Structure 1
């Protein structure tokens, strides 16, 4: 009884572990990597996104508390991101639950492949040129929507764009992570209301276990590998995985 359960959990523990190592190193990409791999193995987009967001409720909660403790959160920026982010996230989650999985899968994977290309491009350009930050609320709205609809993307979309606009890296990462906690709670609640608890399966438990085990390794890796290298590696992995998933979904 226990052995079959462990065997069923292991693949998802591995996915959660790998995704959290990267996320802990870059401050982004847990949702994108987890969702890409889950959809690639055949999980419906809505169920994959729902499970990933439930797991992220725990991981982002711990991250948000840490950033608040270290005074890395700019509360004005936090509110400007959190409110439109939650609105976009709820809309994205609701839309995904209303679309047939076979129809949604190619579009979601295409979006994720574009995120991978974007990360790769930013890796080549790292460090980005400094600009005065101007766009915040629309970025939060779009980031929240794509995060829920694609199962990930809040960090890559919002964090990277704010950094490109010239905002302080420390306060961008702190504020974005703090806002993400409220986003994941809202998105998870929307999925539960639309899909019920049946959407959360062995995959959710496995991702949570793997993510919690990997937490210290991400921080360790961040000290030894450059952000430029990590961005490019994540970009390549996401792009190849997502393109493969699109090809398989369209066959």
Structure 2
């Protein structure tokens, strides 16, 4: 049976592309090795994971680079309007302002829907499960029987955050008059410790890193209909064709977990590791 000329040409092109894919992935890994450095993109101002002072993602990135026999080259970047923008700018294309892409991007949600939408990005190696929690002052709110216990009390949230959206919209806005907006969750948590707030709604990692084991405060799980009760996993991302690099990083991350180094990195920053 003979294929029409167009179909035959298409078949040959597909076969050639398929044969080329492993070579491209291997070439990418060889290029990283040759450079001597692993370029890792981390978010700016995402304490305790990444900031000017370092963080969990920075330490994990350094440990991964060490496992590959490479130096770490950090590429901090500001969050875009959408995650797709960040993946485009930092993983597979580069920013129009001239920076990026990196070899690896940290702190990417490991979500099936997101992964299905990304044909140029490989998302893998989840290393933490994040959740939203409420931390309250026991003095300001001695008894907690659910979020309504906070009615009439000042609650801090970070601007343009999941916590802010959830709290401002909860119960048709019944908490709105007492929601206090802060530049960062860390700022809100510091005011909580100073007695200026009754509570803060934020990521669990943010709360643990600032409040720690301070007996004056209590960490509460609160239910929001629009938020998964189990939170969301975060992992890493590389270009889709960088298979060898992804496999090497996956192996390195597994070794960090098995050796206890991953847990020690979280503990260093006051955060309890939560398996994805």
TM class, shorter-length? under 0.3
TM-score, scaled relative to structure 1: 0.23
Instruction: Point out the structure with max Rg over C-alpha.
Output: 2
> Greater relative contact order (Cα 8 A, min sep 6): structure 1 or 2?
1
- Higher share in helix: 1
- Higher share in strand: 2
TM-score, scaled relative to structure 2: 0.21
